[in-house]
Amino acid sequence: MMNQLQEKIQSIEQGLQTAPVFLQHSPAAPANLSERMAHHCVPGVSLAVINNGAVEWAKGYGVANAESLIPVTTATSFSAMSISKPVTALAVLRLVQEEILDLDTDINHYLHRWHVPENELTHRAHITLRHCLSHTAGLDVGEYYGYAPDEPMPTFLQLLQGEFPSNSGPVQVNTEPGARYLYSGAGYWVVQQIIEEVTGDPFAAAMQKLVLEPLGMTASTFVEPDDTVAAAHDGNGAVTFDKWTRHPGKADGGLWTTPTDLAQYALEVMRAYSHNGGCILTQQVAQTMLTPQAGFHGLGPFITGSGDRLQFNHGGAGEGFLCRLVAFPARGQGAVIMTNGANGWPQILELLRSLALVYAWPHYQPVGKTRVAVETERLTAYAGTYAITADPLTVDRFVEYTGQWQVRDGRPVCYTVRTVEDHLFVQFPNGDAMAFYPASDRMFFALENETMLYFAPLADDAVQALEVVICDELRLQAARVE
């Protein structure tokens, strides 16, 4: 007889939710995990599920390498990519607790072998660790790609200075520190240098002492891996030429780990936040960590919701690896999902929706919508161009949360709406397009995600404005221009 945990696991493996939004009377049929992995060309998946304040179960699926056919197990290491950032942030906050570092001191105070170049922007406001951890430091290097095995790799100082053989520019300040949100791996490169200088250890060794060993993350390392780890795969499920990309900057994307190990990071933050401190974090520092600094970003992870719905999360994305960590401190719940395929993101979302249903999470559950009939004349009245009127911080939050609403060259950013038969078709500022269906004569929903549209009338009932709603905390206004 199957026990309760086995029933949960089976419900997830055989009940994947393929659609975030469904029509109320025609929900999508649940899907099988192995079939969906084949559909997305994702060779391997590994996950760990947190419930009641502990790892309830962990499991691997598929293969770590499509050529050798080595199976994925709970011990298989994956590239965490950008989930390295919140783990690095934990080390910084421990050093803050020990009064070795301060969140609001000019970071150049801690740097001796290299300094952040000063300019007119840094004269207005100095850069702090708080800025770096929350992506508000204004630091940038332009395009950055990492390094293949047959390419020379720069030293870390060469990387910071943008010197050959670095393939990126020098770290520099492009926006006023603290003025706006700008997701920045370069900010975490600076953090890496600070950790090395104040501890006297190479970054990987410092992270081992400050975070990995104390939390029992024995399968985790910031050292370059060998062939025993999961290999990266392209969109067709084939092993990439380089198997993984090398990075001299480890703080922003150099962690190799397992979902079970990453769950220990999540549990430390959850326990410290919700109880009287954790293993290495005090409750006060954990609460600072999970306080939004700009938009949805705390000191390391992204933050949404509050109270029972409070969530901290972070994703990781790179060539052939995608992963996601989510945690609900007040509920003692969460999950870590790691994949080794370029199409891993839709697979991760399907698993999150399935987990949300089985464990009754406050986020990620599929949403049922009822479609109504709206007169063609009314639909036609909504067609037009709408320019974003929101303040820059709100726009920055949209970019942060969605990754697709981009502002370029200071030009007005617009949504284009047109009528297609009995629904609307909307082109977003970055060129993506999506169908929207009427929930009422002024409210429309998409099936691809939970984005909603609201149209506001003038006194004479003519349409004057559009509100794009991603979630309760994130709404973007746009005024009709034609």
pLDDT tens digits, 7-59: 999 999 999 989 899 888 777 788 999 999 999 999 999 999 999 999 999 99
Strands 452-457 and 443-445: antiparallel
Q: Is the pLDDT of residue 224 over 80?
A: yes
Q: What are the structure tokens assigned to 205, written together?
A: 């060794």
- DSSP secondary structure of 149-170: TTS----HHHHHHT-TT-SS--
- Residue 199 gets which letter from DSSP? H
| Count of CB atoms situated within 10 Å of the CB of 429 | 22
Mean pLDDT of the region 191-206: 98
**Cα 318 to Cα 247: distance, rounded to the nearest angstrom:** 11
Q: How far is the C-alpha of 111 from the C-alpha of 296, rounded, in Å?
A: 29
Within 10 A of 142 (CB to CB), how many other CB atoms are there? 12
CB 42 within 8 A of CB 347: yes
Average the pLDDT over 387-408 and give the result: 67
Given this model, what pLDDT does residue 26 score? 77
Q: What is the pLDDT of residue 110?
A: 98
On the CB side of 167, CA atoms within 13 Å amount to 12
Tell me which range, 99-103, 306-310, 472-476, is most confidently predicted by mean pLDDT. Answer: 99-103
Residue pair 86/301 in contact by the 8 Å Cβ criterion: yes
Question: What integer pLDDT is reported at residue 460 of this predicted model?
Answer: 55
Could you report the per-residue pLDDT of 425-462, keeping only the tens digit for each? 999 877 788 999 999 999 999 998 888 999 987 555 56
Whether pLDDT at 204 is above 90 = yes
CA pair distance 108, 126, nearest whole angstrom: 9
Instruction: Please state, as a whole number, how many other Cβ atoms lie within 10 Å of the Cβ of residue 182.
Output: 19
Over range 228-244, report the average pLDDT: 94
Q: Scan for tokens 């999970």, then name that residue.
A: 290
d(CA 463, CA 454): 10
DSSP collapsed to 3 states, 70-103: CECCCCCCEECHHHHHHHHHHHHHHHHHCCCCCC
The Cα–Cα gap between 181 and 137 comes to: 8
